[in-house]
Chain A
Amino acid sequence: MKYKSKHIVPIGTEGIHVLNTGDWRIQRPLIDQEKCIKCGICLLHCPVNSIKKTDGKFIITYDYCKGCGICAHECPKKAIILLPEEEK
């Protein structure tokens, strides 16, 4: 058998990377930076820690974002919209 892993046990991020849970997403959250008041409520609610604060702006990373929509639902200014993912 040709080995992919240098480990003998399921550890680290190797399993998660291979799974790529972002692939499950059918809708993609987008932040309208004009409407955003930088309150950070979306960051606090994201269940997979996919929203980061960078240079004073809130940015969504899509590696593990499953498109659950909680951020859009919680945003007090309705600054986050959900767009359908296109078929791959």
Chain B
Amino acid sequence: MQKVEILNGNKAAAIGAAMSRPGVVAAYPITPQTPVVEYFSEFAANGEVDAAISEVESELTAMSVVTGASLAGSRTFTATASQGLALMYEPYFRASTLRLPIVMAIVNREMISPQSVWGGQQDSMSVRDAGWLQMYAEDNQEILDMIIQAFKIAEDKRVLLPINICYDGFYLSHMTERVLIPEQEKVDAFLGSYKPEHIILDPEKPMAVDPLTNGVLVMEYRNKHLKAQQNALTVLDEVDKEYGRLFGREYGGAVEEYRMEDAEYALVTTGSMSGAAKDAVDMQREKGIKAGLVRMRMIRPFPKDRVCKALSRVKSFGVVDRNVSFGWDTGIVYQEVKAALYDGDNKVPSVPIIGGLGGEDISVGMMMDSIDRVVKAAAEGKNSECIWLMNEEEAK
């Protein structure tokens, strides 16, 4: 029997990590991720987990410690946000290019400046090309489920890459919801243990790591890394199905489609804003507008084929981004979706939409307006200018 608890997103993440039995956890607290570290430390202090906890003095060290622990063959977990992630940048790259299956939660927070501790996906989206896998959760149940699944995906021999489970700061991290907790024995059987063969620091079998290497081999390692990223799409689907069989929750792999079967107009979203978007889709349907939603669960690797298929029959679509792509006058996911569709057959008008920066709410009303704009773009037959979702009352 799965236990029912009322959990905030951070506790769901900490429980998911604890149930995966990592050997080493190193993290530095930063709002809004801090409670993840506190909960996990509490579990360790109570003897509920036997992970070694490293109390580091910065995020740079947190990532370096889990890198070393992973090289030594340990299953590792860490978590960060925003400026903390920025401080990790150098070892963040090394973790992926050394193919270490580290799991890291990113509690999405706006990037400076101005000073802001609230939500925004600029942090993780800006490092999408550092070689990690990246997934985005919609609710607290998905956070817990995905942290557990993340270890299975990352440690798969066809993948061997680190993975970020990203969730919106405050909207998920500090919001409480009903969450089902899977049975520990079943999670143990599902995950097994991590036994690295590709890279391991073992005194019995010494191995030099990261020697000065020429370009020919760098090209080869990158080529294999890109292939491993693509393999993650297949592995995610398999893991999603197996998890669904064991625990009754299947998420549809890299992309979740909501009322897309006969949809003429689509919104594309990422993370917690998808709840409001689903309500707006329902309300537009009641008005006779055939709307649908495509939720991006995975941003790296980018599920190009799934996106092309999901949007293959729409008359127009809009992408709502909780981030900006400096230099494009749109959000980041909008550019990614458009790039994917270049390989598809359905080149229809689109609407770039930006909202919810610095913790601003993306309301159901804003999602309704967004769908109206998507309908308008189809009627006009051309791409729209970027729409900024602003709270009119507060903007006055």
The smallest C-beta distance from A8 to any residue of chain B, in angstroms, reads 5
B220 touches A12 (CB 8 A): no
Chain B residues, Cβ within 8 Å of A3:
220, 224
Question: Which chain A residue lies CB-closest to B157?
Answer: A8
- Kindly list chain A residues whose C-beta atoms are within 8 Å of the C-beta of B219: 1
Interface string of A1-42 (1 = CB under 8 A from B): 101110111111111101100000000000000000000000
When chains A and B are docked, how far (Å) is the Cα of A4 from the Cα of B221? 10
- Say yes or no for B1: interface residue by CB 8 A criterion: no
Count chain B CB atoms within 10 A of each CB in A3, A14, A15, A19 and give the residue with the most: A15
Of the A-B pairs whose beta carbons lie under 8 Å apart in the complex, a sample of 25, sorted by A's number, is A1-B219, A1-B223, A4-B216, A4-B217, A5-B217, A8-B198, A8-B224, A8-B228, A9-B97, A9-B98, A9-B199, A10-B98, A10-B209, A10-B210, A10-B221, A11-B210, A12-B207, A12-B208, A12-B211, A13-B208, A14-B211, A14-B213, A15-B214, A18-B213, A19-B213
Which residues of the partner chain B approach A9 to less than 8 Å between Cβ atoms? 97-99, 198-199, 209, 221
Q: Closest chain B residue to A1 by CB distance?
A: B223
Determine chain A's interface SS by DSSP, over half rule: loop
How many chain B residues have a CB neighbour from A under 8 Å?
Answer: 23
Q: Assuming the A-B contacts A18-B214, A18-B216, A19-B214, are A8 and B208 also in contact, with contact meaning beta carbons closer than 8 angstroms in the complex?
A: no
- Chain B residues in 8 Å Cβ range of A15: 211-214, 217
Complex Cα gap A33–B209 (Å):
37
Cα distance A4–B215 in the bound complex, in angstroms = 12
| Inter-chain contacts of A14 with B (CB < 8 A) | 211, 213, 217
Chain B interface residues toward A at CB < 8 A:
97-99, 160, 198-199, 207-214, 216-217, 219-221, 223-225, 228
Task: Tell me which of B199, B211, B214, B221 has the highest count of chain A C-beta atoms within 10 A of its own C-beta.
Answer: B211
Q: Determine which residue in A5, A8, A14, A18 has the highest number of CB atoms from chain B within 10 A of its CB, and name it.
A: A8
Contacts of A18 in B (CB 8 A): 213-214, 216-217
Beta-carbon contact of A7 and B208 below 8 Å: no
Q: How far is the CA of A14 from the CA of B213 in the complex (A)?
A: 8
Cα of A20 to Cα of B300 in the assembled complex, Å: 37
Contact, CB under 8 Å: B199 / A11: yes
